[in-house]
Structure formats: C-alpha cells, structure tokens
Amino acid sequence: MFSDMALAATAGYATAGAVFAVSFLWRGVAALDSAAGRGSWGFRLLIAPGVTALWPLLLWKWWAAQRRKA
C-alpha cells in the first residue's frame, strides 16, 4: 500500500519535471543565464536530467527572474 503511493508520487514528480523541462530548456534557461541560453541543444540535453530533478527550484528562480524584469 505505502509502496504503491510512494511509487505514484515519484512518478508524478518525474512527470511534472519532464513537462517543466521541455519548456524550461526551450525558453527558461536563457532567462536565468545568458551564456547557457546561447548553448547548443546538446548542452540542453545534457542538463535535462538535472532540470527534471530540480524543477521546483528552477521554476521558482525562473518566476523570480520574470518578476524582476517587470
């Protein structure tokens, strides 16, 4: 019972991270770091697992960067 709930929570977190990673690697990485924004798609694929794992932190930083611009 508990293992099923833990597995479902982990799968949900990973799914949310993967969905976030697509948009972040397309647009968000440039908003946080201009040098990374000029990086190749090979570089972006290289950082994709980290973005997927750390998506809540990166979402917060991306949101804060957008608020500073406005």
In the chain, where the domains are located: 2-69
Sign (positive or negative) of CA dihedral 55, 60, 66, 69: negative
Neighbours of 43 (CB within 10 A): 13
Model's pTM, two decimal places? 0.87
Residue corresponding to tokens 């799914």:
15
Asked whether residue 14 carries a pLDDT value surpassing 80, the answer given is: yes
- pLDDT tens profile 32-53: 998 998 999 999 999 999 999 9
Measured distance CA(4)–CA(58) in Å, rounded = 28
User: How distant, in Å, are the alpha carbons of 14, 16, 25, 35, 52 from that of 8?
Assistant: 10, 12, 25, 37, 16
